[in-house]
Amino acid sequence: MSSSFLAEAQAKMKKAVDHTLHEFSSIHTGKATPAMVETVLVEAYGTRTPLKQCAAISTPDARLIQIQPWDTSLIKDIIRGIQEANLGFNPIPDGKVIRIPLPDMNKERRIEFVKNAYRLAEEGRVHVRNVRRDVMESVKKAKLPEDEAKRLEKDIQAATDASIKSIADHLAHKEKDLLTV
């Protein structure tokens, strides 16, 4: 029974860490990645749709994102969606594709992105701690034997510490990427 509490805690903590890492991938480090725009919502056929569902996104080089809509009638809607997302990009239509050249990042912009990464990391750590709190409450309600409950609390705390350390390690890596010119 106690192993189910631990397995539940580890699974939820892993989801929190994975979500934080996904959020990190959307932070622009000066190198083009499809993740930077794939979640942009586009008005397509009367509904708001993520860009990755209505176009192929590629990065032909480190400073350019290329979007090729499956339906060329969506080009104007995709450009409007990218501009409304306020990502700091200027999409340029080029025939049947949209090109997004990445602007050079100045020192202030890099520091702004680092602050954003710290905010995302803190949200991830808070989520991990909330998972720990919820599972600890479930353990107390389960009325397990005292020695088993104490061991389980230590195991849950160890999983929490490992998850928070993982977020911190990835944050340090992301900060290094952002500040490297």
Span 123-141, pLDDT tens digits: 999 999 999 999 999 988 9
End-to-end CA distance of the chain: 52
Quick: pLDDT tens for 23-68. Answer: 887 777 677 888 888 888 898 888 898 999 999 999 998 889 999 9
pLDDT number for residue 1: 61
The CATH architecture assigned to 2-26+106-179 reads Orthogonal Bundle (1.10)
d(CA 169, CA 127): 17
Count of CB atoms situated within 10 Å of the CB of 100: 22
- Of 3.30.1360.40, 3.30.1360.80, 3.40.640.10, 3.30.230.10, the CATH number of 34-101 is 3.30.1360.40
Listed by start position, the domains of the chain span 2-26+106-179, 34-101
Dihedrals φ, ψ of 64, to 5°?
A: -145, 135
pLDDT number for residue 112: 84
